[in-house]
Chains A and B, each alone.
Chain A
Amino acid sequence: MKPKVTVRKFDAVIVGAGGAGLRAAIQLSESGFKTAVLTKVFPTRSHTVAAQGGVAASLGNSEEDHWHWHMYDTVKGSDWLGDQDAIEFMCRKANEVVIELEHYGMPFDRLDNGRIYQRPFGGHMSNFGEKPVRRSCAAADRTGHAMLHAMYQRNVKANTQFFVEWMALDLIRDQEGEVLGVTALEMETGELYAFHAKATIFATGGAGRIFHSSTNAFINTGDGLGMAARAGIPLEDMEFWQFHPTGVAGAGVLITEGVRGEGGILRNSQGERFMERYAPNAKDLASRDVVSRAMVTEINEGRGCGPNKDYVLLDITHLEPDVIMKRLPGIREIAIQFAGVDPIKAPIPVVPTCHYQMGGIPTNYHGQVVVPGKRTQNEIVPGFYAAGECACASVHGANRLGTNSLLDLLVFGKSAGETAVEELKKSPKAHKDLPADAFDRTLERLNRLNTQKDGANVHETRLAMQRTMQKHAGVFRFAHLLKEGVEKILEVQKAVNQTEIKDKSMVFNTARIEALELDNMIEAAVATMVSAEARKESRGAHVRDDCPDTPEHPNGRDDDNWLKHTLWFKEGNRLEYKSVNLRPLTVDTIPLKKRAY
């Protein structure tokens, strides 16, 4: 017997209640549209809560700043792979969305004149790359927590309808390719629903848990990517993953770049401030990919610290204890809890740790999902929007700057919401009919999982995937390991297609949820490995041994052949490419240049 699927109708359904989902929800709820927000966890438990250092905006509260400088830094940070229209849009909108957040009640730290406190951050410079500028708007080192709570609170005020602990399972698309909502599982009861909507907004976050060592939460399983890929939507630039320089060695927990913004220094086993050799100008505040590679080089060359020489030290012992207590209180807690050191007295052991997915579901800067079509390479998928880490607008290109992720989710959460509101105002009253096969994919997946015999263990299969990703697609990439990695990850995929759970209960079955999450993670993992193997150049976070720094190809970057976005399609496991938009909205193109800090 087929399980029952109850259909519920809404104007809009938002999947995910982190920063991007909550920001989009404010837009829709305040416009009076009937909106459902589905979330696997209570909204304030979403992973935005863990962001620490701040959100970028050229408010210029402490010194002169300009959105155009911010745009330049972001394009350069992206190693020119970011789309310059989207980047201009984001940097110009930054002040507006940060001020709105302040008006929602966000408890930003303050300067003596009462304005929002700003601190320096990696890669953010004044006057087109000259010297570090204070651009990161911060609430101590708990900016994400303060932001997520402020936006949840605003949604409480706006009476947004949340479906808490509901997991979206699959996208519903009809013959014409239009998106008509999602299927979803109510975790508490195990019952199936379909959310039939005129606008579907994905704000499902990244898939950082596909790597073994990750700063990400358990819930970051790339659910939106999996749903999109299964429904025929390509994933863009998935080879670009950010390894954050400062994860706590062993535990993986994040230590914000704001620590270096406040004056923290990275040291090797000789006590040397090694970043001076790699980035003479920006030093410890160079872009994240640059710092992570420098750290791994130090460790590989035998200058790591500790009994196994496998980490470096983040030193803030020279800072005044008052500054640490005031600006970095959460970091002190984390260091004591997870590294067993009080950073006032001793440096923190850190290693580069997987942190952020630059790629994702392809969108334009209005938050609309776009795919290659007959006429253009960016045709809009009707009814489908994406924002935040699950989306690729693309503003981060090959490497994201710190504080641009919180900005991304505010700007594009809002713009996806605004576009959806405009489209809803234009659209006819009735919902388009659901196709006859609307629930088939979901029912097949659940039936397979419930009846699987002699299958693969979910925990072990996930671990095999994570270890494969870590070994074959890490901070430095090697041609032979990538090639081998593709074969290995396709092997893991076979196991994922045969996972078995012992627990068959209907009530809050977390074993079933973890198996369904693994279905999503593996799509992100395969996309990553296949895209990375194919890109025969070094750019931003993607650096290969067979594409070294040469006079013809500085830093190993090959603009003649590889200044283009990757698109990975699940069907046939194939790749296409599309051009990078080098044309901003109003200013001149930021011309290609060798990247140095």
Chain B
Amino acid sequence: MTTRTLHFKIYRYDPDQDRKPYLQDISVEVDSNDRKLLDALVKLKAKDDSIAFRRSCREGVCGSDAMNINGKNGLACLTDLASFPEGKPIVLRPLPGLPVIRDLIVDMTQFFKQYHSIKPYLINDDPPPERERLQSPEEREELNGLYECILCACCSTSCPSFWWNPDKFVGPAGLLAAYRFIADTRDQATNERLDNLEDPYRLFRCHTIMNCVDVCPKGLNPTKAIGKIKAMMVQRAI
């Protein structure tokens, strides 16, 4: 079996031991069974058990292992080892803009606070019918590209507007979720949802920089969803 050595520079910080963060140089042997960055990280952890990162499904659907990989946010389990150029160290840092708990693990409180602020649940006050609420295939199709979000935070933590105003700007993930409910024919709270976003910061801090689209590991387009909400705001005003 062919093996090769990968060199890493990993952001390390354990508030229990370290006075300040540093970049650790560490390398690991990988073989042809190791296809993804997460495979290499698991091997690294076997070597040095103190390296802390989140991971779970290892197939890009749980959203745990988001990190900043050579300067760009992504999921370790979906990043091909073959995509890294030979001879250059792979630089891993925690997602930018959120407080670091330890090593590659960030405190996501603010991110989820914004997600929760858009009331991420179906609102329909009619008494529930005996059977399913009907929805045509075309109406259901409106939810495609919205409901697949895995809340990994790659998008929001790559967004300069979110870095500057994480407490005031909902951010791309939260706004994508807001539009997911606005677009759902079963939801009755469209006006209330638009009111909730009518504010100089919550929605309108999006300056269509489109980093969110660039990094989304699920290929979703929050900027497009934000554009649709903005258009609905305008339409409602006239």
Contacts and interface: CB of A to CB of B under 8 A. Distances in A.
B147 A146 contact: yes
A592 interface: no
A337 B78 contact: yes
B61 A49 contact: yes
Contact of A338 (B50, B59, B119, B148): B59
Contacts of A506: 16
Contacts of A42: 64, 108, 112, 151
A333 B57 CA distance: 15
A107 B147 contact: yes
Interface in A460-516: 460, 501-503, 505-511, 514
A104 interface: yes
A41 B193 CA distance: 29
Interface in A180-218: 188, 217-218
A338 B61 CA distance: 13
Given A156-B121, A510-B53, A44 B150 contact: yes
B200 interface: no
Contact of B46 (A99, A115, A459): A459
A452 to B, nearest CB: 13
A37 interface: no
A108 B58 CA distance: 25
Contacts of A111: 137
B109 to A, nearest CB: 9
B78 A110 contact: no
A116 interface: yes
Contacts of B139: 110
B136 A114 contact: yes
Interface footprint category on B: 35 or more
Given A114-B134, A157-B121, A503-B49, A508 B57 contact: no
B14 A507 contact: yes
A333 B147 CA distance: 16
A274 B156 CA distance: 49
B122 interface: yes
A250 B147 contact: no
Contacts of B59: 50, 253-254, 334, 337-338
A419 interface: no
Nearest to A503: B50
Interface string A10-47: 00000000000000000000000000000001101111
Contact of B148 (A142, A503, A510): A142
Given A107-B147, A338-B59, A507-B101, A45 B64 contact: yes
A146 B149 CA distance: 10
Given A115-B132, A145-B150, A217-B58, A153 B137 contact: no
Interface string B101-122: 1110100100010001001111
A149 interface: yes
Contact of B52 (A150, A337, A508): A508
A338 B186 contact: no
B15 interface: yes
A300 B132 CA distance: 47
A219 B61 CA distance: 14
A551 B207 CA distance: 74
Contact of A501 (B49, B112, B134, B137): B49
B50 A110 contact: no
Given A145-B148, A157-B121, A511 B63 contact: no
Contact of B57 (A50, A100, A113, A502): A50
A506 B134 CA distance: 52
Interface centre among B61, B131, B140, B151, by most A CB within 10 Å?
B61
Nearest to A113: B134
A156 B120 contact: yes
A453 to B, nearest CB: 16
A448 to B, nearest CB: 17
Contacts of B151: 42, 44
20 contacts: A42-B112, A45-B57, A45-B63, A47-B62, A103-B124, A104-B122, A105-B122, A107-B184, A110-B139, A149-B147, A150-B122, A217-B57, A254-B59, A458-B49, A459-B46, A459-B49, A502-B48, A507-B16, A510-B45, A510-B49
Q: Which 4 A-B pairs have the closest CB atoms?
A: A105-B122, A114-B134, A511-B49, A503-B50
